[in-house]
A and B are shown apart, each in its own frame.
Chain A
Amino acid sequence: MAVQQIILRILVTSMLFIGVIRFNRLSIAFKSVVFYLLASDIAECIGFYLAEKQVDNNWVFQILSTVSVLLFYWIFKHSFINHRVKNWLKPAFGVLLTLVILLQTLVYSLTEFPSYTMVLICFTVIIFCFLKFKEMLDEPEGTNILRQSQFWFFTSMFIFHSGTFFIWLTDQYLLPNMSTGIVVYWVVFYLNVLHYGLIGIGLYLDNKRVQ
Protein backbone atom coordinates (compact mmCIF):
# COMPACT_ATOMS: atom_id res chain seq x y z
CA MET A 1 0.00 0.00 0.00
CA ALA A 2 1.38 3.42 -0.97
CA VAL A 3 2.30 5.87 1.77
CA GLN A 4 -0.38 8.30 0.56
CA GLN A 5 -3.02 5.58 0.81
CA ILE A 6 -1.91 4.74 4.34
CA ILE A 7 -2.06 8.43 5.37
CA LEU A 8 -5.52 8.78 3.85
CA ARG A 9 -6.84 5.61 5.47
CA ILE A 10 -5.42 6.65 8.86
CA LEU A 11 -7.10 10.05 8.47
CA VAL A 12 -10.50 8.63 7.52
CA THR A 13 -10.37 5.83 10.09
CA SER A 14 -9.37 8.16 12.94
CA MET A 15 -12.22 10.50 11.99
CA LEU A 16 -14.57 7.56 11.82
CA PHE A 17 -13.33 6.46 15.23
CA ILE A 18 -14.03 9.92 16.73
CA GLY A 19 -17.42 9.97 15.00
CA VAL A 20 -18.39 6.57 16.41
CA ILE A 21 -17.21 7.43 19.95
CA ARG A 22 -19.13 10.74 19.94
CA PHE A 23 -22.00 9.41 17.83
CA ASN A 24 -24.74 10.10 20.39
CA ARG A 25 -23.60 13.70 20.84
CA LEU A 26 -23.68 14.51 17.13
CA SER A 27 -26.54 16.18 15.26
CA ILE A 28 -28.54 13.99 12.85
CA ALA A 29 -26.73 15.53 9.85
CA PHE A 30 -23.32 14.60 11.26
CA LYS A 31 -24.51 11.17 12.33
CA SER A 32 -25.22 10.64 8.64
CA VAL A 33 -21.76 12.04 7.84
CA VAL A 34 -20.29 9.27 10.01
CA PHE A 35 -22.15 6.72 7.86
CA TYR A 36 -20.81 8.47 4.75
CA LEU A 37 -17.26 8.19 6.14
CA LEU A 38 -17.86 4.53 6.94
CA ALA A 39 -19.19 3.80 3.44
CA SER A 40 -16.26 5.67 1.82
CA ASP A 41 -13.70 3.94 3.99
CA ILE A 42 -15.08 0.46 3.37
CA ALA A 43 -15.37 1.10 -0.38
CA GLU A 44 -11.85 2.54 -0.63
CA CYS A 45 -10.38 -0.35 1.33
CA ILE A 46 -12.17 -3.00 -0.75
CA GLY A 47 -11.31 -1.10 -3.94
CA PHE A 48 -7.65 -0.88 -3.01
CA TYR A 49 -7.51 -4.53 -1.96
CA LEU A 50 -9.06 -5.66 -5.26
CA ALA A 51 -6.69 -3.42 -7.24
CA GLU A 52 -3.75 -4.96 -5.41
CA LYS A 53 -5.05 -8.40 -6.35
CA GLN A 54 -5.38 -7.24 -9.98
CA VAL A 55 -9.16 -7.78 -9.83
CA ASP A 56 -11.70 -5.33 -11.25
CA ASN A 57 -12.96 -2.97 -8.53
CA ASN A 58 -15.27 -0.62 -10.45
CA TRP A 59 -18.39 -2.31 -9.11
CA VAL A 60 -17.39 -1.09 -5.62
CA PHE A 61 -17.52 2.54 -6.78
CA GLN A 62 -20.82 1.91 -8.54
CA ILE A 63 -22.33 0.75 -5.27
CA LEU A 64 -20.62 3.59 -3.37
CA SER A 65 -22.04 6.24 -5.71
CA THR A 66 -25.59 4.91 -5.22
CA VAL A 67 -25.17 4.77 -1.44
CA SER A 68 -23.64 8.28 -1.52
CA VAL A 69 -26.74 9.70 -3.24
CA LEU A 70 -28.95 8.35 -0.45
CA LEU A 71 -26.58 9.54 2.28
CA PHE A 72 -26.18 13.01 0.73
CA TYR A 73 -29.97 13.31 0.57
CA TRP A 74 -30.23 12.41 4.24
CA ILE A 75 -27.40 14.77 5.27
CA PHE A 76 -28.83 17.69 3.27
CA LYS A 77 -32.34 17.00 4.56
CA HIS A 78 -31.12 17.52 8.10
CA SER A 79 -28.82 20.43 7.25
CA PHE A 80 -31.18 22.79 5.46
CA ILE A 81 -33.59 25.02 7.34
CA ASN A 82 -35.16 26.75 4.33
CA HIS A 83 -38.42 24.94 3.54
CA ARG A 84 -38.31 25.81 -0.16
CA VAL A 85 -34.92 24.15 -0.54
CA LYS A 86 -36.08 21.22 1.58
CA ASN A 87 -39.07 20.79 -0.74
CA TRP A 88 -36.71 20.65 -3.72
CA LEU A 89 -34.41 18.09 -2.11
CA LYS A 90 -36.70 15.10 -2.56
CA PRO A 91 -37.46 15.61 -6.30
CA ALA A 92 -33.83 16.57 -7.06
CA PHE A 93 -32.36 13.54 -5.37
CA GLY A 94 -35.18 11.37 -6.70
CA VAL A 95 -34.22 12.33 -10.26
CA LEU A 96 -30.52 11.92 -9.43
CA LEU A 97 -31.05 8.44 -7.99
CA THR A 98 -33.15 7.40 -11.01
CA LEU A 99 -30.45 8.65 -13.39
CA VAL A 100 -27.72 6.93 -11.41
CA ILE A 101 -29.61 3.62 -11.45
CA LEU A 102 -30.43 4.01 -15.16
CA LEU A 103 -26.79 4.76 -15.98
CA GLN A 104 -25.61 1.78 -14.01
CA THR A 105 -28.08 -0.65 -15.51
CA LEU A 106 -28.24 0.60 -19.10
CA VAL A 107 -24.93 2.37 -19.81
CA TYR A 108 -22.21 1.02 -17.58
CA SER A 109 -21.28 -2.57 -17.07
CA LEU A 110 -20.02 -3.55 -13.62
CA THR A 111 -16.45 -3.41 -14.89
CA GLU A 112 -16.62 0.26 -15.92
CA PHE A 113 -15.86 3.22 -13.71
CA PRO A 114 -19.14 5.23 -13.27
CA SER A 115 -17.71 8.59 -14.37
CA TYR A 116 -21.02 10.16 -15.55
CA THR A 117 -22.69 9.05 -12.35
CA MET A 118 -19.97 10.86 -10.42
CA VAL A 119 -20.43 14.00 -12.49
CA LEU A 120 -24.17 14.01 -11.86
CA ILE A 121 -23.55 13.65 -8.13
CA CYS A 122 -20.93 16.45 -8.26
CA PHE A 123 -23.35 18.80 -10.02
CA THR A 124 -26.14 18.15 -7.57
CA VAL A 125 -23.89 18.49 -4.53
CA ILE A 126 -22.31 21.73 -5.82
CA ILE A 127 -25.75 23.27 -6.46
CA PHE A 128 -26.97 22.35 -2.99
CA CYS A 129 -23.72 23.64 -1.46
CA PHE A 130 -24.38 27.01 -3.11
CA LEU A 131 -27.94 26.95 -1.74
CA LYS A 132 -26.61 26.16 1.73
CA PHE A 133 -24.12 29.04 1.53
CA LYS A 134 -26.96 31.33 0.51
CA GLU A 135 -29.08 30.07 3.40
CA MET A 136 -26.20 30.76 5.79
CA LEU A 137 -25.91 34.33 4.45
CA ASP A 138 -29.61 34.92 5.11
CA GLU A 139 -29.39 33.70 8.72
CA PRO A 140 -30.55 36.65 10.84
CA GLU A 141 -28.44 35.79 13.84
CA GLY A 142 -25.68 33.30 13.40
CA THR A 143 -22.62 32.49 15.42
CA ASN A 144 -19.10 32.96 14.08
CA ILE A 145 -19.07 31.22 10.71
CA LEU A 146 -15.74 29.54 11.44
CA ARG A 147 -17.30 27.88 14.49
CA GLN A 148 -20.18 26.41 12.52
CA SER A 149 -19.82 22.70 11.76
CA GLN A 150 -22.09 22.98 8.74
CA PHE A 151 -19.83 25.60 7.15
CA TRP A 152 -16.82 23.27 7.27
CA PHE A 153 -18.82 20.30 6.01
CA PHE A 154 -20.30 22.18 3.07
CA THR A 155 -16.93 23.80 2.25
CA SER A 156 -15.44 20.33 2.18
CA MET A 157 -18.20 19.01 -0.09
CA PHE A 158 -17.98 22.05 -2.35
CA ILE A 159 -14.20 21.88 -2.81
CA PHE A 160 -14.08 18.10 -3.16
CA HIS A 161 -16.85 17.85 -5.72
CA SER A 162 -15.62 20.88 -7.69
CA GLY A 163 -12.17 19.27 -7.78
CA THR A 164 -13.60 15.91 -8.81
CA PHE A 165 -15.58 17.59 -11.57
CA PHE A 166 -12.44 19.41 -12.74
CA ILE A 167 -10.46 16.17 -12.90
CA TRP A 168 -13.25 14.46 -14.80
CA LEU A 169 -13.47 17.40 -17.21
CA THR A 170 -9.74 17.44 -17.95
CA ASP A 171 -9.60 13.68 -18.17
CA GLN A 172 -12.58 13.36 -20.52
CA TYR A 173 -12.46 16.43 -22.73
CA LEU A 174 -9.70 18.98 -22.13
CA LEU A 175 -6.62 16.79 -21.98
CA PRO A 176 -7.87 13.32 -22.94
CA ASN A 177 -4.48 11.89 -23.82
CA MET A 178 -2.45 13.50 -21.11
CA SER A 179 0.38 11.63 -19.53
CA THR A 180 -0.26 13.18 -16.16
CA GLY A 181 -1.20 10.11 -14.19
CA ILE A 182 1.12 10.81 -11.27
CA VAL A 183 0.03 14.48 -11.03
CA VAL A 184 -3.64 13.48 -11.05
CA TYR A 185 -2.83 10.94 -8.38
CA TRP A 186 -1.31 13.65 -6.17
CA VAL A 187 -4.14 16.09 -6.88
CA VAL A 188 -6.69 13.44 -5.93
CA PHE A 189 -4.68 12.66 -2.80
CA TYR A 190 -4.55 16.31 -1.66
CA LEU A 191 -8.21 16.74 -2.56
CA ASN A 192 -9.10 13.75 -0.39
CA VAL A 193 -6.94 14.97 2.49
CA LEU A 194 -8.62 18.37 2.30
CA HIS A 195 -12.07 16.77 2.02
CA TYR A 196 -11.70 14.52 5.04
CA GLY A 197 -9.74 17.12 7.01
CA LEU A 198 -12.51 19.70 6.65
CA ILE A 199 -15.16 17.09 7.51
CA GLY A 200 -13.07 16.32 10.60
CA ILE A 201 -13.19 19.98 11.69
CA GLY A 202 -16.96 19.88 11.12
CA LEU A 203 -17.29 16.72 13.22
CA TYR A 204 -15.23 18.25 16.03
CA LEU A 205 -17.29 21.48 16.05
CA ASP A 206 -20.60 19.62 15.81
CA ASN A 207 -19.64 17.50 18.81
CA LYS A 208 -18.71 20.67 20.75
CA ARG A 209 -21.93 22.44 19.70
CA VAL A 210 -24.18 19.65 20.95
CA GLN A 211 -22.23 19.44 24.21
Chain B
Amino acid sequence: MNSEGTTTLLYFTLAAVALMLLLSSFIIYFVFRYRKRQGEFALEKEQLRLEFQSEKLTAQIEISEQMMKNISEEIHDNIGAMLTMAKLQLTSMSPDNYEKHTSQGISLLTKAISDLRNLSKSLNGNYVLDIGLTQSIQRELNIIDSSGTIKCELVDKTVDFFIPEEKEIILFRCVQEALNNAVKHSEANEIRVSLEEKNRVLTLSVNDNGKGIDTGNIEKSIGFKTMNQRASILGGSFEARGYPGKGSQIQFLIPFETTFARN
Protein backbone atom coordinates (compact mmCIF):
# COMPACT_ATOMS: atom_id res chain seq x y z
CA MET B 1 0.00 0.00 0.00
CA ASN B 2 1.43 3.44 -0.97
CA SER B 3 1.69 6.40 1.44
CA GLU B 4 -1.48 8.02 0.07
CA GLY B 5 -3.37 4.80 0.68
CA THR B 6 -1.98 4.59 4.23
CA THR B 7 -3.03 8.19 4.94
CA THR B 8 -6.53 7.50 3.55
CA LEU B 9 -6.78 4.39 5.69
CA LEU B 10 -5.67 6.35 8.74
CA TYR B 11 -8.24 9.08 8.08
CA PHE B 12 -10.98 6.53 7.59
CA THR B 13 -10.09 4.64 10.77
CA LEU B 14 -9.90 7.87 12.76
CA ALA B 15 -13.23 9.04 11.36
CA ALA B 16 -14.82 5.68 12.14
CA VAL B 17 -13.47 5.74 15.71
CA ALA B 18 -14.61 9.37 16.10
CA LEU B 19 -18.07 8.46 14.89
CA MET B 20 -18.32 5.53 17.28
CA LEU B 21 -17.18 7.75 20.16
CA LEU B 22 -19.72 10.37 19.15
CA LEU B 23 -22.56 7.85 18.98
CA SER B 24 -21.54 6.25 22.28
CA SER B 25 -21.32 9.68 23.93
CA PHE B 26 -24.80 10.48 22.66
CA ILE B 27 -26.22 7.24 24.08
CA ILE B 28 -24.45 7.75 27.44
CA TYR B 29 -25.66 11.36 27.56
CA PHE B 30 -29.18 10.15 26.79
CA VAL B 31 -29.08 7.58 29.61
CA PHE B 32 -27.91 10.21 32.12
CA ARG B 33 -30.47 12.71 30.89
CA TYR B 34 -33.21 10.09 31.16
CA ARG B 35 -32.22 9.27 34.75
CA LYS B 36 -32.16 12.95 35.64
CA ARG B 37 -35.61 13.46 34.12
CA GLN B 38 -36.95 10.44 35.98
CA GLY B 39 -35.57 11.90 39.21
CA GLU B 40 -37.32 15.20 38.47
CA PHE B 41 -40.59 13.40 37.70
CA ALA B 42 -40.34 11.41 40.93
CA LEU B 43 -39.74 14.60 42.92
CA GLU B 44 -42.68 16.30 41.24
CA LYS B 45 -44.88 13.28 41.94
CA GLU B 46 -43.86 13.26 45.59
CA GLN B 47 -44.67 16.98 45.90
CA LEU B 48 -48.09 16.41 44.31
CA ARG B 49 -48.71 13.50 46.67
CA LEU B 50 -47.85 15.63 49.68
CA GLU B 51 -50.06 18.46 48.42
CA PHE B 52 -52.92 16.02 47.91
CA GLN B 53 -52.41 14.56 51.41
CA SER B 54 -52.47 18.04 52.89
CA GLU B 55 -55.64 18.97 50.96
CA LYS B 56 -57.26 15.69 52.00
CA LEU B 57 -56.41 16.35 55.64
CA THR B 58 -57.86 19.86 55.47
CA ALA B 59 -61.00 18.49 53.84
CA GLN B 60 -61.34 15.83 56.52
CA ILE B 61 -60.98 18.42 59.31
CA GLU B 62 -63.60 20.64 57.65
CA ILE B 63 -65.92 17.66 57.19
CA SER B 64 -65.67 16.62 60.85
CA GLU B 65 -66.22 20.24 61.97
CA GLN B 66 -69.31 20.44 59.77
CA MET B 67 -70.55 17.16 61.21
CA MET B 68 -70.07 18.40 64.79
CA LYS B 69 -72.03 21.51 63.88
CA ASN B 70 -74.84 19.38 62.44
CA ILE B 71 -74.97 17.22 65.57
CA SER B 72 -75.03 20.29 67.76
CA GLU B 73 -77.86 21.82 65.71
CA GLU B 74 -79.83 18.58 65.72
CA ILE B 75 -79.52 18.21 69.50
CA HIS B 76 -80.26 21.88 70.15
CA ASP B 77 -83.12 22.41 67.69
CA ASN B 78 -84.85 19.08 67.84
CA ILE B 79 -84.08 16.88 70.81
CA GLY B 80 -83.28 19.78 73.15
CA ALA B 81 -86.54 21.49 72.27
CA MET B 82 -88.53 18.32 72.88
CA LEU B 83 -86.86 17.70 76.25
CA THR B 84 -87.55 21.30 77.26
CA MET B 85 -91.19 20.83 76.32
CA ALA B 86 -91.33 17.58 78.30
CA LYS B 87 -89.78 19.31 81.30
CA LEU B 88 -92.35 22.08 80.96
CA GLN B 89 -95.16 19.56 80.87
CA LEU B 90 -93.84 17.80 83.96
CA THR B 91 -93.11 20.95 86.00
CA SER B 92 -96.52 22.45 85.26
CA MET B 93 -98.21 19.24 86.40
CA SER B 94 -100.95 19.58 88.99
CA PRO B 95 -103.60 17.16 90.32
CA ASP B 96 -106.10 18.62 87.82
CA ASN B 97 -104.01 18.08 84.66
CA TYR B 98 -101.92 15.15 85.93
CA GLU B 99 -103.01 12.62 83.32
CA LYS B 100 -102.93 15.01 80.36
CA HIS B 101 -99.46 16.39 81.22
CA THR B 102 -98.01 12.96 82.01
CA SER B 103 -99.26 11.59 78.70
CA GLN B 104 -97.90 14.58 76.72
CA GLY B 105 -94.59 14.45 78.64
CA ILE B 106 -94.18 10.72 77.95
CA SER B 107 -95.09 11.28 74.30
CA LEU B 108 -92.45 14.03 73.98
CA LEU B 109 -89.84 11.90 75.75
CA THR B 110 -90.62 8.95 73.49
CA LYS B 111 -90.22 11.18 70.42
CA ALA B 112 -86.96 12.59 71.81
CA ILE B 113 -85.63 9.07 72.44
CA SER B 114 -86.66 8.01 68.94
CA ASP B 115 -84.99 11.06 67.38
CA LEU B 116 -81.88 10.46 69.47
CA ARG B 117 -81.79 6.85 68.25
CA ASN B 118 -82.19 7.95 64.63
CA LEU B 119 -79.46 10.53 65.09
CA SER B 120 -77.19 7.92 66.59
CA LYS B 121 -77.87 5.52 63.71
CA SER B 122 -77.28 8.25 61.14
CA LEU B 123 -73.96 9.12 62.71
CA ASN B 124 -72.85 5.56 63.21
CA GLY B 125 -70.83 4.52 60.16
CA ASN B 126 -71.05 0.85 61.13
CA TYR B 127 -74.81 0.99 60.80
CA VAL B 128 -74.39 2.14 57.18
CA LEU B 129 -71.90 -0.66 56.58
CA ASP B 130 -74.25 -3.23 58.08
CA ILE B 131 -77.29 -2.47 55.96
CA GLY B 132 -75.55 -1.08 52.84
CA LEU B 133 -75.68 2.21 50.99
CA THR B 134 -79.03 1.80 49.25
CA GLN B 135 -80.81 0.63 52.40
CA SER B 136 -79.26 3.47 54.43
CA ILE B 137 -80.48 6.03 51.92
CA GLN B 138 -83.92 4.39 51.95
CA ARG B 139 -83.93 4.61 55.77
CA GLU B 140 -83.07 8.33 55.69
CA LEU B 141 -85.85 8.90 53.15
CA ASN B 142 -88.31 6.96 55.34
CA ILE B 143 -87.50 9.23 58.30
CA ILE B 144 -88.14 12.36 56.18
CA ASP B 145 -91.25 10.75 54.65
CA SER B 146 -92.65 9.95 58.10
CA SER B 147 -92.88 13.68 58.87
CA GLY B 148 -95.77 13.75 56.38
CA THR B 149 -94.72 17.02 54.74
CA ILE B 150 -92.24 15.71 52.19
CA LYS B 151 -92.83 12.73 49.92
CA CYS B 152 -89.63 10.78 49.24
CA GLU B 153 -88.67 8.26 46.59
CA LEU B 154 -85.55 6.21 45.85
CA VAL B 155 -84.85 5.06 42.28
CA ASP B 156 -82.01 2.53 42.08
CA LYS B 157 -81.01 1.63 38.51
CA THR B 158 -77.61 0.19 39.38
CA VAL B 159 -76.43 -3.36 38.93
CA ASP B 160 -75.02 -5.01 42.04
CA PHE B 161 -71.66 -3.45 42.90
CA PHE B 162 -69.22 -3.29 45.77
CA ILE B 163 -67.95 -0.09 47.39
CA PRO B 164 -65.00 -0.10 49.80
CA GLU B 165 -66.27 0.56 53.35
CA GLU B 166 -64.67 3.97 53.93
CA LYS B 167 -65.95 5.21 50.57
CA GLU B 168 -69.46 3.90 51.23
CA ILE B 169 -69.69 6.05 54.37
CA ILE B 170 -68.37 9.13 52.55
CA LEU B 171 -70.95 8.66 49.79
CA PHE B 172 -73.71 8.21 52.35
CA ARG B 173 -72.67 11.41 54.14
CA CYS B 174 -72.92 13.21 50.79
CA VAL B 175 -76.52 12.04 50.41
CA GLN B 176 -77.28 12.98 54.02
CA GLU B 177 -75.93 16.48 53.48
CA ALA B 178 -77.92 16.92 50.25
CA LEU B 179 -81.11 15.65 51.94
CA ASN B 180 -80.48 17.88 54.95
CA ASN B 181 -80.19 20.92 52.65
CA ALA B 182 -83.36 19.96 50.75
CA VAL B 183 -85.37 19.53 53.96
CA LYS B 184 -84.09 22.70 55.62
CA HIS B 185 -83.92 25.18 52.76
CA SER B 186 -85.75 24.01 49.63
CA GLU B 187 -89.39 24.26 50.82
CA ALA B 188 -89.99 21.19 48.68
CA ASN B 189 -92.73 18.63 49.12
CA GLU B 190 -91.08 15.96 47.00
CA ILE B 191 -87.54 14.56 47.12
CA ARG B 192 -86.24 11.93 44.78
CA VAL B 193 -82.87 10.18 45.12
CA SER B 194 -81.63 8.21 42.13
CA LEU B 195 -78.65 5.93 41.67
CA GLU B 196 -77.57 5.21 38.13
CA GLU B 197 -74.52 3.66 36.47
CA LYS B 198 -73.69 4.93 32.99
CA ASN B 199 -70.41 4.78 31.03
CA ARG B 200 -68.62 3.39 34.10
CA VAL B 201 -69.63 6.41 36.19
CA LEU B 202 -71.98 6.15 39.15
CA THR B 203 -74.40 9.07 39.18
CA LEU B 204 -76.09 9.78 42.48
CA SER B 205 -78.73 12.53 42.20
CA VAL B 206 -80.86 14.22 44.84
CA ASN B 207 -83.74 16.11 43.20
CA ASP B 208 -86.39 18.22 44.87
CA ASN B 209 -89.31 20.33 43.65
CA GLY B 210 -88.61 23.28 45.93
CA LYS B 211 -87.77 26.90 45.26
CA GLY B 212 -84.44 26.02 43.59
CA ILE B 213 -81.03 26.76 45.00
CA ASP B 214 -79.19 29.93 44.12
CA THR B 215 -76.13 28.54 42.32
CA GLY B 216 -74.46 31.93 42.46
CA ASN B 217 -73.95 31.67 46.21
CA ILE B 218 -72.97 28.01 46.26
CA GLU B 219 -69.27 28.63 46.91
CA LYS B 220 -70.05 30.40 50.17
CA SER B 221 -72.10 27.52 51.54
CA ILE B 222 -70.16 25.26 53.91
CA GLY B 223 -72.57 22.39 53.16
CA PHE B 224 -71.87 22.52 49.43
CA LYS B 225 -68.16 22.95 50.06
CA THR B 226 -68.21 19.84 52.23
CA MET B 227 -70.08 17.85 49.57
CA ASN B 228 -67.57 18.97 46.95
CA GLN B 229 -64.66 17.92 49.14
CA ARG B 230 -66.25 14.56 49.84
CA ALA B 231 -66.81 13.97 46.12
CA SER B 232 -63.17 14.80 45.39
CA ILE B 233 -62.03 12.38 48.10
CA LEU B 234 -63.96 9.73 46.16
CA GLY B 235 -62.14 10.78 42.99
CA GLY B 236 -65.35 12.15 41.51
CA SER B 237 -67.12 15.44 41.04
CA PHE B 238 -70.10 17.30 42.44
CA GLU B 239 -72.62 19.43 40.57
CA ALA B 240 -75.49 21.55 41.89
CA ARG B 241 -78.21 22.95 39.64
CA GLY B 242 -81.04 25.25 40.66
CA TYR B 243 -84.22 25.87 38.66
CA PRO B 244 -86.00 28.86 40.26
CA GLY B 245 -89.48 27.87 41.38
CA LYS B 246 -89.10 24.38 39.97
CA GLY B 247 -86.53 22.69 42.16
CA SER B 248 -82.89 21.71 42.50
CA GLN B 249 -80.62 18.88 41.55
CA ILE B 250 -77.53 17.81 43.45
CA GLN B 251 -75.46 15.32 41.51
CA PHE B 252 -72.40 13.26 42.45
CA LEU B 253 -70.47 11.71 39.59
CA ILE B 254 -68.13 9.01 40.82
CA PRO B 255 -65.96 7.12 38.30
CA PHE B 256 -66.36 3.40 38.61
CA GLU B 257 -62.60 2.71 38.41
CA THR B 258 -61.62 4.86 41.37
CA THR B 259 -64.32 3.78 43.75
CA PHE B 260 -66.19 0.66 42.87
CA ALA B 261 -65.83 -2.90 41.85
CA ARG B 262 -68.45 -5.30 40.66
CA ASN B 263 -69.62 -7.97 43.03
A→B interface (CB under 8 Å): 133, 136-138, 140-142, 145-146, 155, 158-159, 162-163, 166, 170, 174-175, 177-180, 183-184, 187
Contacts and interface: CB of A to CB of B under 8 A. Distances in A.
Nearest to B26: A158
Interface residues of B, number: 22
Contacts, number: 56
Contacts of A163: 19-20, 23
Interface of B: 1, 5, 8-9, 11-13, 15-16, 19-20, 23, 27, 30-31, 33-35, 37-38, 41, 45
7 contacts: A137-B30, A138-B37, A142-B38, A145-B34, A163-B20, A166-B16, A179-B1
Contact of B27 (A138, A155, A166, A177): A155
Contacts of B41: 140-141
A179 B16 CA distance: 15
A136 B11 CA distance: 35
A179 B2 CA distance: 10
A162 B11 contact: no
Contacts of B38: 141-142
Contacts of A133: 30
A170 to B, nearest CB: 6
Nearest to B1: A179
A137 B34 contact: yes
Contacts of A187: 16
Contact of B9 (A142, A162, A174, A183): A183
Nearest to A136: B34
Nearest to B24: A159
A146 B8 contact: no
A155 B20 CA distance: 12
